[in-house]
């Protein structure tokens, strides 16, 4: 058996299959918004209180996935930790914005049968949409099951027609046990390149990657396009990390944004371990996807003082890389701790993901050798 069906006897089989389906739906929603075939222009961006951007896509994906998870598993059984809230949409001045979200969500939910899911019997109203967004108010923690959602990871990438991702994970008793990563602009056939702008003929070539903890495998399949429907198995293939362990040949990824990432320190580490290639700067968790399927070997992120990493920016990508054969730790070599709530509390200096142990040990060693002089 292939794809999500390969885990049919697995403890998390239903969670994995529903997760893949709702992320596929979310990617379809985002692609339509980017192409302008539904809703407002994708550059209709609002700044949140922390100055980070949010769009109709962010709210629409969160509302849609929240509603579908509640329908699939029972609202009383679903705890969701997610990035967005509905405060802005609830303002009297946001009537047209809420109307755009409602229209976008309902158009997507109407396609649920194509994805093997059951949609609502009638369109959802504004209050139901707001309720679905506000239901994503869990803070996670060490006990119980918590879905973790970043509806549009890399909103700037989405707005600019570059890389972004829809990231959904399931955490059980502090451990990430299911990860699904939808990458609408990451072709299942083409490698990433720096400063890639998405051409019109590439809109239809996204992919979704997914895994469950302990499966020892991660899978990738194309996104559904046109009038197709999602059937299992559906063109899924096993992905593995790169076998390259020579730093001279290795490619490393880092965030595009400089606000919360120290590019100069990463460059120093790269030089110390002998990396020769220019860094591949990528929006969103597509960096994890690139390592999981062998397009890159290293991802480094060293945040500036005071910045706290959120679990929704890493959970899905981490488990996919690990099950594809890679290694992900903090910069002290310890596993990331997803049991402390919304933030990766106790994170040691930064995050290092590698395709193999040898590269990982070199990076961690370079961090220890250089940190005292880094002034971070």
Q: Which residues are catalytic?
A: 58, 155
Cα→Cα distances 103→21, 59, 126, 128, 191, Å: 20, 12, 9, 12, 34
Cα→Cα distances 171→143, 153, 283, 310, Å: 9, 18, 24, 14
Instruction: Say whether 150 counts as a known binding-site residue.
Output: yes
Which tokens is 251 given? 């490619």
Instruction: Say whether 313 counts as a known binding-site residue.
Output: yes
Contact (Cβ atoms closer than 8 angstroms) between residue 129 and residue 61: no
Contact (Cβ atoms closer than 8 angstroms) between residue 158 and residue 178: no
Between CA 351 and CA 218 the distance in angstroms is: 21
Binding residue positions for Mg(2+)? 83, 150, 153, 313
Binding residue positions? 83, 150, 153, 313
């Amino acid at each position: 058996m292939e794809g999500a069906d390969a885990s049919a006897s697995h403890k998390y089989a239903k969670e994995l299959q529903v997760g893949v389906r709702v992320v596929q739906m979310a990617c379809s929603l985002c692609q339509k918004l980017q192409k302008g075939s539904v809703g407002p222009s994708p550059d209709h961006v609002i700044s949140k209180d922390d100055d980070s951007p949010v769009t109709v896509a962010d709210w629409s994906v969160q509302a849609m996935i929240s509603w579908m998870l509640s329908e699939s598993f029972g609202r009383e059984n679903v705890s969701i930790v997610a990035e967005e809230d509905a405060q802005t949409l609830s303002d009297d001045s946001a009537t047209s914005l809420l109307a755009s979200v409602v229209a976008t969500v309902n158009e997507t939910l109407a396609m649920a049968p194509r994805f093997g899911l059951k949609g609502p019997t009638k369109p959802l109203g504004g209050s139901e949409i707001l309720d679905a967004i506000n239901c994503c108010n869990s803070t996670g923690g060490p006990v119980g099951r918590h879905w973790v959602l970043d509806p549009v990871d890399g909103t700037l990438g989405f707005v600019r027609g570059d890389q972004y991702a829809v990231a959904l994970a399931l955490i059980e008793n502090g451990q990430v046990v299911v990860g699904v990563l939808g990458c609408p602009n990451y072709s299942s056939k083409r490698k990433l390149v720096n400063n890639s702008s998405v051409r019109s003929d590439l809109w239809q070539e996204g992919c979704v990657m997914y895994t469950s903890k302990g499966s020892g495998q991660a899978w990738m399949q194309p996104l559904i396009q046109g009038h197709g429907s999602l059937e299992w198995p559906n063109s899924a293939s096993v992905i593995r990390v790169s076998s390259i362990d020579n730093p001279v040949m290795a490619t490393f990824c880092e965030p595009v944004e400089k606000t919360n990432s120290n590019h100069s320190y990463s460059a120093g580490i790269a030089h110390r371990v002998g990396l020769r290639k220019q860094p591949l700067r990528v929006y969103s968790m597509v960096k994890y996807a690139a390592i999981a399927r062998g397009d890159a070997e290293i991802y480094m992120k060293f945040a500036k003082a005071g910045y706290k990493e959120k679990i929704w920016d890493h959970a899905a990508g981490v488990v996919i890389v690990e099950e594809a054969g890679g290694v992900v730790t903090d910069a002290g070599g310890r596993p990331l701790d997803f049991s402390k709530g919304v933030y990766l509390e106790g994170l040691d200096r930064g995050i290092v993901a590698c395709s193999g142990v040898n590269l990982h040990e070199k990076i961690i060693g370079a961090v220890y050798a250089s940190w005292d002089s880094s002034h971070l």
